[in-house]
Every structure is written in structure tokens, then in C-alpha cells.
Chains A and B, each alone.
Chain A
Amino acid sequence: MPVLKELEEAFLKSKKDKEFQKELAHLQKTYIGRPTPLYFARRLTEHLGGAKIYLKREDLAHTGAHKINNAVGQVLLAKKMGKKRVIAETGAGQHGVATATGAALKGLECEIYMGTEDIKRQALNVFRMRLLGAKVTEVPTGSRTLKDAINEALRDWTTNIRTTHYVLGTVFGPHPFPVMVRDFQSVIGREARRQILDAEGRLPDYLIACVGGGSNAMGLFYEFLSENVKMIGVEAGGKGIETGEHAARFAGGSIGVFQGCKSYLLQDDDGNVLGTHSVSAGLDYASIGPEHPFLRDRGRVQYTYATDDAALSAFELLSRIEGITPALESAHALAEIVKLAPELSKEEIIIINLSGRGDKDVQHVARIKGIEL
């Protein structure tokens, strides 16, 4: 895989390249709007009556989610490698928007692959990507969702390998993607550590994040792995594990090899990948970044899931009680907080990664509630 070697070399070089790091830091500050705030959610804390809850506000990053951290990093790298074109997959549309944004910023040609089902669910983001100058290509094959968009992006990449860089959106796929994406996202945890030390003078007791591919979770967790901090990753429980309609890879999957890496996978007895379900398109994926099973098997991170219903109710709760509408993905992590915080003492501290804003989901939630807008 010469192209993966080339990418790994460019990535490792960029880590030592002072000019690259300077440009990245500058863009993080002036373009993405970092550092994002660490907000003490006083009303939510009081409402749940237990641990102190801090929100790491990735929803306030440019384009409205943590995805931009990785997209800008990889677009800079693509430019360094002399690529003229970037491609990406997208489910909910957040990573597509982030990549299209990065491409506009750096003047690169951009094409985004998106499943037919997701195009229907996320019409707003499709239009946003087109506004940003990207070509959005529909993927009508397979289950017509995120995994099929990744397949199609990989097909494009193998075809246009000389001119194109594939901006994979999460800590998944072949090496070096899981490491590289984690590296670009770990700014979240580095900031959170500094911010909680400023606010509380000590590290938190818990970190909580939702896990689709797992990039926002890795981004928050990585900085704290060697500290005495408990960590929980929350998968999409969909309509419940027993219904088979979910995306809880740990609860319902087994080890498989898929799209360039070995990890937990929702698959049938013959090794075909199963369809998944989640109310949030960003968690609706059959596998999980390979570092998560590694952390789970070492007992370092605990994984659980939240159902569609629990996520929807957390989505409404945070909107009402803090005036912050979270992305449905992040609402899964919040659902876990709703369960966990009341069981903890008032001295304990939780940081949750509020990975994205919920504007993109408003229409979808209205539809679920039977409200016509």
C-alpha cells in the first residue's frame, strides 16, 4: 500500500515540521475558534443532583462539531503532499461539511460521498456542502448509509490515488488513519485538562463521550489515559439491543476485518456486515475505531449504550435546562450522564464531550415527534 506509506511518512514529518504545526495552531485559533470553552452546566448539575457536570463545547467550533479539527489537519497535510483534490465520506453530513470547509480554505477540489438514505435525512447539510463548493455524490448501493459512502470513497481513492487525498473522518480504517485522526482530535483533551485545572484545581473523575467511529471520544480521552480518570464511551443502542436495530458493536458485535482494520463489527454468521440503526446518523455505523476495543480489553475504558429514546429525551433536556441544543450523537453521551450523575457525590466531576450542535437535527427530531415545520 504505497499510498498509506506515503501518508504515514507525510504525517510523521508534519509532526516535527515547525511551520506545519505553527500554521495548524494558527488556524485552530483564528479559524476554528479554539480553544473551545469548558462550560460548567450549573442548572443541569442541580437538576440531576449529583456530580458536577462540565461540557467541553466542541459544538462551538467552526461548522458546529469536532469534525473540523481533523478535517483542517488533513487538508493541510494533503496540501503538503501536493494533492489537488480531497474526498470524504459523510453520514450526518458534519464531516462532509468540515472537509468541504477545509478544501475551500485551502483551495482544493472536493468531492463528498453520501448514502442515498443519509442525503434524504440531512438535506440541509447537503446544500451546505454544495454552497462550500464541494461536489456531493450520492451512493445508492448497499445499505445506502455511511459504510457504503466509505466504500465508495475508498474506490475513488484507489482510482485517483495520484492526485487525491482521502480525508477519512474518524479513528478508523487502515493505518495511519486511526493514529492520525486521534492526533488531530487530541487537542480536545489537552485543552480540557488545562481548563479543568484552572476551574477546579484538579483532574475530573469521569470523562464521557459518544462513540460512532470514535474520534471525539479518542480526542477527549487520549490526554488522560495515564491518569486516574474513569472513562465511558457511549454507543448507539437504537431501538434496543434485543431488537437487532442498533449500532452497539460491543454489545451486539464480534471481531471482524472491515474497511482496512480489525475491530468489533456487527456482522452475520457468514461475515457479511449487518445493517445498523440509530436515530443519529453519525453513530449509525457497523464498526468502531480499533483503539476502542484495545482500551476496553485492557479495562481502561468502559463502554455502554443509550437508546434512541434516551438520547432524544437528553436532547430535549439540555435544550430546555441549559439553552444548548446538542447534536443527537452527543445526546447519547448526555443520556449516560442523566443516569450516572445522580449516583455520584457532589464533589465528583464529570466532563462530557459535547461533540456537536443540534441544529442539523432539529428537523429530524420534529419529524419523529410528528410535528410538521
Chain B
Amino acid sequence: MTSRIEKTFKRLKKEGKKAFIPYVMAGDPSLERTKEIVLLFEECGADIVELGVPFSDPLADGPTIQRASERALKNGVTLRKVISLVSEIRRGEKDLRQKTQIPLVLMTYFNPVFKYGIDNFIKDAKDAGVDGMIVPDLPPDEAEDFIQQSRKAAIDTIFLLAPTSTEDRIKKVAKASSGFIYYVSITGITGASLLLDGSMEELILKIRKYTDRPIAVGFGVSTPVEASAVAKVSDGVIVGSAIVKRLHETPDELKYYLISLREAIK
């Protein structure tokens, strides 16, 4: 069965386009607002939406998303509530105008999933309408059970590769991933600055030797110029911290910014 994420990448490939994947931290500043943002993403031409789940110790995240996570936790947002949010968005439960079938990927740390129970989590995520999952602190070596159950539920598992990944690692991540592979453009955390030289293209070509899965690039993409450069060498661009920052500091500029990113990602 082809997942909604795979279908999206196939369609884009046929049209000669690249995926625009914006990120928002669920519940920052409120879950109601997050719904509006997801719809705004879609309106501005997003292909897939990445939905952050707040966690007390967001190890892979830089200061911008750390603070967003703290704000969301203060609002009482939990993994359970984020799953309910997805369910509401899919069914238009509260407001029929707030309904979308855009592919949704949850980015959550592992402990909330572990505490929820992997079985229950995947069942509830599936029922709600989640399409894929990124768990940055779960290496594929430790994820056998998680991957198997996700496959059964037809939820994509998206694992990360970094500039330091070895060939063995690339093979392992390619095998464990479905939907797409998340290439971390830098060694480091979300929101750091991107180095635009030939090395990214080289590394992405290296990954392509081992897999034909789509490769989306994230961590550190902030300007339309960077997005455009990254889009040229990959299959999709993920923008997180820069969006979270605008949403928090200059929300009026968010829509214009999203449109300029969309135009840059070709």
C-alpha cells in the first residue's frame, strides 16, 4: 500500500517539484492556534506538515524550539492532546472549515511514546490520521518493535541521517525509513546556521547510492535563498525554527514568509 506521504513525493516528482515541509510546535501558543497554522501551511502550498510534540528535554532542538516546547508544556499540551488535535483536524470535529487531509508527521521524543505504550500510541495515532513519525532520539538499532508496528498500521517511520553518517548507517537508516529520509543538513541541533557549499550535494548523492527513497533536508534552513539551494539538491525542504520564531515574534509576517519559501522551493 502506498502511503499518503509516498504518494505526495511521487506526484511532486512527476510534476518536477520539491516538497515544502513546514514545522510547527503543537500547542504554541495554543492548540486552537496550531489548527489554524496547519491550515495556513496548506493554504500557502505546503505538501506535508511536521507537527512537534512538546517534551521536557528536547535534546535535538536548538533554543527556538526548546522555548516553544516549554510554552506548550506550560499550556498543558501532551502527546495525547496532540493526537486528539490531529483527529479534530482530520474530521473537522469542532469546525468543518478546520479540516484537511494534508499528510501529517509527528515529531516526538521517545519517552512520551514509551510511557504511552508503543502499541497504544500507534493505534491511536493511526485512528487519528497521523501519516508519519520522526523520533529523533530513537536510533533504528533500537526501533525494531516500533518499526514493525508502524508498518502494520501503515504509518511511515522517518529516520535521520547526518553529514557524519557512515555507509553502514546510511544502509540501516534507508532500510528502517519509509515515506522519506530526513537528512540533517548540519552536525548539530535545529535552528543552527546552514553552510551552503558543495558538501551537502555530495553527501546526498552518497545517500542516493544506497536508496531511492525521497530525501528531505532540515535543521538550519531559514531563508528563501537557502531553501532554494537545498531544494535543488534534495526532494524536499523542512523549515522549523525560522517558522516557530516568526509565529512567536512577528506573526503578521508569517504568511508572507511561507509564500516566499514556497516560491523558493522548486
Contacts and interface: CB of A to CB of B under 8 A. Distances in A.
Interface in A255-277: 256-260, 265, 267, 269-273
Interface stretch (A100-108, A117-125, A147-155): A147-155
Interface in A121-170: 141-142, 147-148, 151, 154-155, 158-162
A1 B166 CA distance: 9
Contacts of B113: 271
Contacts of A258: 57, 111
Contacts of B110: 257
A266 to B, nearest CB: 11
Contacts of A142: 56-57, 66, 70
A3 interface: yes
Contacts of B73: 272
Majority secondary structure, A binding face: mixed
B44 to A, nearest CB: 30
A155 B189 contact: yes
B224 interface: no
A2 interface: yes
Contact of B63 (A141, A270, A271): A141
A104 B181 CA distance: 42
Interface string B16-49: 0000000000000000000000000000000000
Contacts of A162: 164, 187
B188 A271 contact: no
B139 interface: yes
Given A1-B139, A141-B70, A271 B166 contact: no
Q: Which of A148, A151, A259, A273 has the most CB of B within 10 A?
A: A151
A147 B111 CA distance: 15
B199 interface: no
A270 B80 contact: yes
B187 A161 contact: yes
A136 B165 CA distance: 30
A151 B186 CA distance: 18
Given A158-B187, A271-B116, A151 B164 contact: no
A269 B116 CA distance: 8
A270 B120 CA distance: 13
B55 interface: yes
Contacts of B59: 151, 154-155, 259
Interface in B91-119: 110-116
B57 A2 contact: no
Contact of B189 (A147, A159, A265, A271): A159
A273 B63 contact: no
B79 interface: yes
Contacts of A158: 60, 162, 187-189
B255 interface: no
A271 B112 contact: yes
Contact of B112 (A151, A159, A259, A270): A270
B238 to A, nearest CB: 17
B154 interface: no
B85 interface: no
A141 B66 contact: yes
B8 interface: no
25 contacts: A141-B63, A147-B57, A154-B59, A155-B60, A158-B60, A159-B186, A159-B187, A161-B164, A161-B187, A162-B187, A256-B111, A256-B114, A259-B57, A260-B137, A269-B115, A270-B80, A270-B112, A270-B115, A271-B112, A271-B114, A271-B116, A272-B56, A272-B111, A272-B112, A273-B111
Interface of B: 55-60, 62-63, 66-67, 70, 73, 78-80, 110-116, 137, 139, 162, 164-166, 169, 186-189, 192
Instruction: Give 5 nearest A-B pairs by CB, closest first.
Output: A271-B115, A159-B188, A271-B112, A272-B56, A270-B78
Interface of A: 1-3, 141-142, 147-148, 151, 154-155, 158-162, 256-260, 265, 267, 269-273
Given A270-B79, A272-B56, 8 more contacts: A155-B59, A160-B187, A257-B111, A257-B137, A260-B137, A267-B115, A271-B55, A271-B111
